[in-house]
Amino acid sequence: MELNVVGKPGSTKVVRNVIKIDEKKCNGCGKCVSPCAEGAIRIINGKAKVVSEELCDGMGFCIGVCPTGALTVEKRETVPFNEEKAMSQPKITDSTIACYKCKKGEYDAYLLPMRHQGESVWVCTRCLPALIHG
Ligand code: SF4
């Protein structure tokens, strides 16, 4: 991950990738909460919010599951990513997450978010090759 320290030596600000949420597009469905292993996103007053930018690693794993296109990654000045704090966040599981083809859940398969025929879906690594190669 590229980090550019800005400001005076010892500054706590860096320029890096972080998630940006377009509240006008967000419908509050909550699909982006559990994919964020760092616990950076919560639904507050019906909208997705980044509760703390130090928890967002900017990898954008949440983007693929958003049905409305409300999530993007932007590079800007913010606080550094705090890996220790992110790893200590409680893991949020979602029993509705499952491969759209074989229906295996996150405890039975490795799942990836993807777009398919206009829908945001999960696919497991066993079903993905069949989708790619037909
Ligand atoms: S997945 Fe998209 S629409 Fe749903 S809560 Fe998250 S940002 Fe909002």
pLDDT on residue 7: 54
Same domain, 22 and 66: yes
Same domain, 24 and 61: yes
For ligand 1, atom 2, name the residue with the nearest CA.
Answer: 66
Same domain, 131 and 67: no
Predicted TM-score of the model (pTM): 0.78
Which CATH number belongs to the domain containing residue 77 in this structure?
3.30.70.20
Same domain, 47 and 101: no
pLDDT on residue 55: 96
Q: What are the 10-residue block averages of pLDDT along the chain, 134 residues in total?
A: 55 91 96 89 96 94 88 96 92 83 93 82 92 85
Burial of 88 per CB tally in 10 Å (0-12, 13-18, 19+): exposed
Are 81 and 16 within 8 A, CB to CB? yes
Are 19 and 49 within 8 A, CB to CB? no
| Residue among 20, 44, 71 whose CB has most ligand 1 atoms within 8 A, to mutate | 71
Written as one letter, the residue type at 109 is A
Same domain, 80 and 128: no
Number of domains in the chain: 2
Same domain, 66 and 107: no
pLDDT on residue 9: 58
Same domain, 118 and 85: no
For ligand 1, atom 1, name the residue with the nearest CA.
Answer: 66
pLDDT on residue 106: 87
Same domain, 12 and 49: yes
Same domain, 8 and 44: yes
**From CA 116, how far away is CA 134, in angstroms rounded?**
14
Same domain, 84 and 99: no
The parent domain of residue 49 ranges over: 1-93
